[in-house]
Copies of this chain bind each other. A is one copy, B any other.
Amino acid sequence: MFRNSALLQCAFFLLSSPLTTTAQISETWLRANEQRVLQEFQQLLSIPNVASDTANIGRNATKLVEMMQARGIRTKLFQTPGAPPVVFGELDGTSSARTLAFYAHYDGQPVDRADWQTDPFDPVRKGDRIYARSASDDKATIIAMLAALDAMKAAGQRPASSLKFLFEGEEEAGSPHLATILREHAAELRADLWLICDGPVHQSGRQQVYFGARGTTGMEVTVYGPSRELHSGHYGGWAPNPALMLAHLLASMRDENGRVTIAGFYDGVTPLTALEKKALADTPTVDADLRQELALGRQENPGRKLEDIVNEPTLNVQGIRSADTGKLARNVIPAIATANLGIRLVKGIPVKQSQDAVIEHIRKQGYFVTEDDPTPEVRKAHPKVAKVNRRGGGYPASKTPMDLPIARQVVAAIAKARGPVVEAPTLGGSVPLFMFEQELRTPFLGIPIANHDNNQHAANENIRLQNLWNGVGTMAAIMMMR
């Protein structure tokens, strides 16, 4: 069990007692329930949740069902061959006129234990944070939803809207089956609005609501040198060096200011609306503070605001590996070099257009491109060979109009409970919003609760407890919205 902390006692500056229709949760409730909520959170975080770990993914789903049923939610597992189970739940509201559906995911990014200070699946409380894989992305959000129901019940309240819950188990693997699942269960998933509960709040600390998210795709690119590592002395200057080939290839794709130099990469971007431009202008400027926090002497796309930049597509190298460095460094010409490319998309750019542009660019650099491991014959037949693994595809960006009435209602309800809200036309990160748009024809809104400095996707992922409790208030505000 996490150690208790005096810090918690001052974490509720926004909350008054008792729970009212403005959905503020009481300090009394929190004191009485904090340990119980954190214990449940700890149990959930202790179950490893990389999407490919089938056995543990199943244990996560079972645990979620148990937690939801304890709140009177009617549950069901949506099973698809080869996919982790999707956990579905329903709870009636006091009014049958409106249904709100909450999406979150219970899987997490892969972990490289060597980089973690503590075991990623043995949650640890340090100061005002809990460290574990998915502590913020995205299990905290699920805990916040369920705790909101507990707090409402303790105050004799019930949700105004009927609620539906959908918890996915392979979002971090690119949600390869989500579209199919939404399509197959479209009737059960009917709702007036989908609330996509994933991502961080704004860096200013304000609650953020996002109306869209960048799409995501990418590929793993491997280039080939000699069929085995060679002594860098005996063959240096003669054997083609794949690490240097990869350096040239990557450098040809993007300049150091973040501008992608691949032909057609920016083609077709949908322009921002006037409302979106206004929302960006109204967003607090955090660039200078972030550069301080992250020890940066510069930023890419210099002179522009972070929030503006994430409204454009981008290409990043998310990892490179060729032979070894550090203690394992060897004096060799490596046999291969691999880069993990990540692409973020905005409205107007289909996944395939973006992937094809990258592949065409690789060809233009003189490479023979294959999607299979090249045979020795293929390697001998071409001066330069690149293997491209499209990694399951990805999905495009999607957006809800910023003037949609139900969206305005949600923003107003949150602002009443939690203070000024940052309205983001798009989140920089990706959530599979387009699938809700495409398969369910239902608008969506993104409601994140995690602190921005949560080490999401990296080692030592964490959640600030204050963000968790604020999230309980946000979720209650939405559930009780009349």
| A residues adjacent to B (C-beta < 8 A) | 52, 109-110, 112, 172, 199-200, 213-214, 216, 218, 220, 224-241, 243-252, 254-256, 258, 287, 291-301, 306, 309-310, 312, 314, 316-334, 337-340, 342, 344, 376, 379-385, 427-430, 452-453, 455-460
Instruction: Given contacts A229-B455, A233-B427, A240-B298, list 14 more A-B pairs with CB under 8 A.
Output: A110-B328, A172-B331, A225-B296, A227-B295, A231-B456, A236-B316, A237-B312, A239-B299, A240-B296, A241-B300, A247-B317, A320-B325, A325-B338, A325-B339
A430–B233 touching, CB < 8 Å: yes
Number of copies of this protein chain within its complex: 2
B243–A216 touching, CB < 8 Å: no
**What is the minimal beta-carbon distance from A112 to any residue of chain B, in angstroms?**
5
**What is the minimal beta-carbon distance from A158 to any residue of chain B, in angstroms?**
35
B251–A244 touching, CB < 8 Å: yes
A310–B230 touching, CB < 8 Å: no
B231–A328 touching, CB < 8 Å: no
A340–B344 touching, CB < 8 Å: no
A320–B318 touching, CB < 8 Å: no
A327–B110 touching, CB < 8 Å: yes
A233–B334 touching, CB < 8 Å: no
In the bound complex, CA of A384 to CA of B136 (Å): 31
26 inter-chain pairs at a CB distance below 8 angstroms, sorted by A residue, are A220-B325, A224-B295, A229-B458, A231-B429, A231-B458, A232-B342, A233-B429, A237-B314, A238-B306, A239-B296, A239-B300, A240-B296, A240-B298, A244-B251, A244-B316, A244-B317, A248-B256, A251-B252, A297-B385, A318-B329, A319-B322, A319-B323, A319-B332, A321-B324, A330-B458, A332-B457
B110–A428 touching, CB < 8 Å: no
- Residues from chain B with a CB closer than 8 A to the CB of A247 are 246-251, 317, 320
Of the residues B226, B256, B322, B334, contact of A294 by C-beta under 8 Å: B226
A291–B342 touching, CB < 8 Å: no
Of the residues B237, B300, B326, contact of A310 by C-beta under 8 Å: B237
In the bound complex, CA of A297 to CA of B375 (Å): 12
- Residues from chain B with a CB closer than 8 A to the CB of A294 are 226-228, 230, 239
- Residues from chain B with a CB closer than 8 A to the CB of A258 are 237-238, 241
- Residues from chain B with a CB closer than 8 A to the CB of A52 are 327
- Residues from chain B with a CB closer than 8 A to the CB of A225 are 296
In the bound complex, CA of A342 to CA of B323 (Å): 13
- Residues from chain B with a CB closer than 8 A to the CB of A112 are 324, 328, 330
**What is the minimal beta-carbon distance from A137 to any residue of chain B, in angstroms?**
8
In the bound complex, CA of A334 to CA of B321 (Å): 12
Chain B residue at minimal CB-CB distance from A257 = B240
Of the residues B218, B329, B334, contact of A110 by C-beta under 8 Å: B329
**What is the minimal beta-carbon distance from A261 to any residue of chain B, in angstroms?**
11
A109–B331 touching, CB < 8 Å: yes
Residue from A200, A216, A220, A250 whose CB has the most chain B CB atoms within 10 Å: A250
Known contacts: A247-B250, A339-B243, A457-B232. The answer to whether A318 contacts B330 by CB under 8 A is yes
**What is the minimal beta-carbon distance from A161 to any residue of chain B, in angstroms?**
29
A457–B318 touching, CB < 8 Å: no
Of the residues B226, B297, B339, contact of A380 by C-beta under 8 Å: B297
A244–B240 touching, CB < 8 Å: no
In the bound complex, CA of A238 to CA of B291 (Å): 10
- Residues from chain B with a CB closer than 8 A to the CB of A339 are 243, 325
**What is the minimal beta-carbon distance from A103 to any residue of chain B, in angstroms?**
17
In the bound complex, CA of A227 to CA of B226 (Å): 35
B233–A295 touching, CB < 8 Å: no
Residue from A250, A294, A427 whose CB has the most chain B CB atoms within 10 Å: A294
In the bound complex, CA of A218 to CA of B236 (Å): 13
Chain B residue at minimal CB-CB distance from A376 = B295
**Complex A-B, nearest 6 residue pairs according to Cβ-Cβ distance, in ascending order:** A233-B429, A229-B458, A237-B314, A319-B323, A247-B250, A243-B317
In the bound complex, CA of A459 to CA of B460 (Å): 32
Chain B residue at minimal CB-CB distance from A429 = B233
- Residues from chain B with a CB closer than 8 A to the CB of A255 are 248
Of the residues B227, B232, B384, B385, contact of A316 by C-beta under 8 Å: B232
Known contacts: A457-B231, A458-B330. The answer to whether A320 contacts B379 by CB under 8 A is no
Of the residues B248, B254, B321, B324, contact of A244 by C-beta under 8 Å: B254
**What is the minimal beta-carbon distance from A390 to any residue of chain B, in angstroms?**
13
Residue from A110, A251, A306, A316 whose CB has the most chain B CB atoms within 10 Å: A316
- Residues from chain B with a CB closer than 8 A to the CB of A453 are 228
A236–B332 touching, CB < 8 Å: no
A459–B429 touching, CB < 8 Å: no
